[in-house]
Chains A and B, each alone.
Chain A
Amino acid sequence: MSAEIKEREPLFSAKNIKLLKNPLNFENPITVQVLGICSALAVTAKLEPAVVMSISVVFVAAISNVVISLLRNGIPPRIRIIVQLVVIASMVILVDQVLKAFVYDVSKQLSVFVGLIITNCIIMGRLEAFAMANKPWPSFLDGIGNGLGYGAILIIIAFFRELLGSGTIYGYHVVPESFFELGYKNNGLMILPPMALIVVGVIIWVQRYYTRELIEKN
């Protein structure tokens, strides 16, 4: 009995905090693991869908991590990928239904992209790599951390694409009219998906400049 209590670590032990923080930088799903690029291109032309997408991904990643972690000892390894997919798909459909019922405008904005969370490799990657082998609480933190790491990059990309592409931030005009009168033009290229990839590239570059550990040795 006493041994069990001794083993129990605090909810926010250093190890657990690391689970939350690492995906934001050292193990960022987009810039380091290069996962979830597809949706990073698709929903980042404007900030608002990027923000809602990030929140949805945080939710789905956290909950499916917990569910899989709870089931981990009973899942037959041969069908584990299918089980993971069923859990993710159920969560995503649930999120979609709730958005449609209570924040209809936002759900209209996101439309197909909520459904596409199912195909986001980050979530399945975390289930397979983490939740299958860890307890529910660390899995929950891992899901939140990775969702946030993904969301942070999404929001940075969307910020630059919306600012340079449309001259707005979160739908508000920020580039003053006088700029346009002087001949400034919104860069239409920023709205197109390839520019998201280039922005991701720039973020990776900047991140590695400040975090030298990430640079490959050879």
Chain B
Amino acid sequence: MYSNGYIFRYAAIMVIVAAALLSTAAMLLKPFQERNVAIDKMGGILASADIPDITAENAIQLFNEYVKEEIVINQDGDVVESYTQSKKEDAKAFKLDLKAELYKKTKGLPYELPLYVIEKDNQTLYVVPLRGVGLWGPIWGNMALSDDLNTIVGVTFDHKGETPGLGAEIIMDFFTDQFVGKKIFDDNGAFKSIKVVKGGIGTLPDSEKIHGVDAISGGTITSNGVNDMLHDVLESYLPYLKKHR
């Protein structure tokens, strides 16, 4: 009872209407979404440095208050750009796409990395943003190092879609608190990263315990993802870290 012509016309009009509706919605909502993403990024950087009372409303203000310098470094560890003005959200370091830069690294191309310098209680902290892959999608986070560029002051993690109750637990305090006080270099200055250990750090020799944390049971692949992310990203920062230690 419906001709083929009608079916084709119907389908064509339907998809055009749906496309128009969705792209209008996407365009209208984009500024809100981008602002949320920026605020979320700032919140993560601040939270890794253990700055209290961060909310979506005051994140931009706190970020400008605590972050003293935003540095862009290259693959050799040289400082390419240092931004210290107000409006920290406009800095090149803040806008760098870590995912794209880390991808360049895997291809052997030159890359640039952001580093945030935070002043807190007369302490200088260096925040390294992290990015890697979990079980279902990307995972990312921030790691705040004290001014010896070795001891971890705090970390935050976040994820796109890890399993709730399992891998998604990497964002919880019980997991991130383990990192506080751990060291990424050993006493001889060799790079160790932080290992996320299945079965717990109890299985490690004593000398290695300072470089390890307990994995999350049931979240093995996400835990491994965190492990690899820490190793790979920190490794990219090694030239800079070694020069400034």
Contacts and interface: CB of A to CB of B under 8 A. Distances in A.
B164 A43 contact: yes
Nearest to A77: B2
Given A79-B11, A100-B36, A90 B164 contact: no
A112 B165 contact: no
B218 A192 contact: yes
A90 B163 CA distance: 25
Interface in B1-42: 2, 6-7, 10-11, 14-15, 18, 21-22, 25-26, 29, 32-33, 36-37, 39-40
Contact of B36 (A79, A104, A112, A188): A104
Contacts of B218: 188, 191-192
B7 A78 contact: yes
Contacts of A33: none
A45 B7 contact: no
B164 A83 contact: no
B137 A86 contact: no
Contacts of A87: 18
Given A101-B33, A112-B161, A166-B165, A76 B6 contact: yes
B10 A90 contact: no
Contacts of A42: 164
User: Contact residue range for chain B?
Assistant: 20 to 34
B166 A45 contact: yes
Given A76-B10, A100-B36, A46 B22 contact: no
A90 B33 contact: no
A45 B172 CA distance: 15
A76 to B, nearest CB: 4
Contacts of A161: 165
Interface residues on A, range: 35 or more
SS of A interface (majority): helix
A93 B2 contact: no
B99 interface: no
Contact of B10 (A49, A74, A165): A74
A42 B166 CA distance: 11
A108 B241 CA distance: 32
A87 B181 CA distance: 52
Interface string B133-174: 000110000000000000000000011110111100000000
Residue among B7, B137, B160 facing the most chain A CB atoms (10 A cut-off) = B7
Interface in B166-224: 166, 217-218
Contacts of A5: none
Contact of A46 (B11, B164, B217): B164
Contacts of A165: 165
A45 B164 contact: yes
Interface string A60-87: 0000000000000011111100110011
A75 B33 contact: no
A90 B161 contact: no
A86 B37 CA distance: 28
Interface in A100-146: 100-102, 104-105, 108-109, 111-113
B56 interface: yes
A111 B15 contact: no
B6 A112 contact: no
A104 B56 contact: yes
A184 B10 CA distance: 62
A97 B36 contact: no
A98 interface: yes
Top 7 A-B pairs, shortest CB-CB distance: A45-B165, A111-B161, A101-B32, A104-B36, A112-B161, A191-B165, A76-B2
